[in-house]
Amino acid sequence: MEEIIKVNKLSKSFKSYQSLQGKKIFLASLRRRPYTKKALNEMSFKVKKGEIVMLLGENGSGKSTLIKTLVGILHPDSGEAEVMGMTPWKNRIKLAWKYGMISGAHNQMFWNLPAIDTFEYVKGLYEIPEKEYQKRLRYFVKLLNLEEVCKRQVRTLSLGERMKCNFVSAVLHLPEIVFMDEATIGMDLSSVINLRKALLDMQKNYNTTFFITTHIVDEIKALAEHVIIIDRGTVVFDGTKSALQKFFGKKKQLEIHFGKKIDKERYKKHGKVVEAGENYLKLEINAERLKERGIITLLNSEDVLDYNVSEPDLVYVLSRFYGRKKV
Q: What is the pLDDT of residue 37?
A: 84
How are beta strands 280-286 and 251-258 bridged, if at all? Answer: antiparallel
Tens digit of pLDDT for each residue in 205-221? 999 999 999 877 778 88
- Alpha-carbon gap, residue 168 to 190, rounded angstroms: 17
CATH 3.30.70 domain extents, the chain: 251-311
Say which residues have a Cβ less than 8 Å from residue 279's Cβ, sequence separation at least 6: 257, 258, 259, 260, 261, 262
pLDDT of 22: 56
Q: Identify the pLDDT of residue 31.
A: 66
Per-residue pLDDT, 25: 54
What's the pLDDT tens digit per position in 246-255? 765 677 888 8
User: Residue 113 pLDDT > 70, yes or no?
Assistant: yes
Q: Sorting pLDDT into bands at 50, 70 and 90, what band is 106? A: confident
Average pLDDT, the chain: 86
Q: Does domain 251-311 have CATH number 1.20.1250?
A: no
> Which pLDDT tens digit goes with each residue over 126-155?
999 999 999 999 999 998 999 999 999 999
Give the C-alpha distances (Å, rounded to integers) separating 192 from 26, 224, 323. Answer: 52, 15, 29
Q: Residue 253 has what pLDDT?
A: 83
**263-275 average pLDDT score:** 84
Q: Which of 250, 248, 252 is nearest to 318 (CA)?
A: 248
Per-residue confidence (pLDDT) for residue 326, from 0 to 100: 47
State mean pLDDT over 66-82: 95
Structural contact between residues 266 and 283, judged by C-beta atoms closer than 8 angstroms:
no
Residue pair 107/162 in contact by the 8 Å Cβ criterion: yes
Q: What is the mean pLDDT of residues 32-48?
A: 88
3-state class (DSSP) for residue 327: coil
Strands 99-103 and 251-258: unpaired
Q: Where in the chain is the domain with CATH 3.40.50.300?
A: 3-245
Q: Which CATH architecture has domain 3-245?
A: 3-Layer(aba) Sandwich (3.40)
Contact between 181 and 64 under an 8 Å Cβ cutoff? The reply is: yes
Rounded to an integer, the average pLDDT of 316-323 is 69
Q: What is the pTM of this model?
A: 0.79
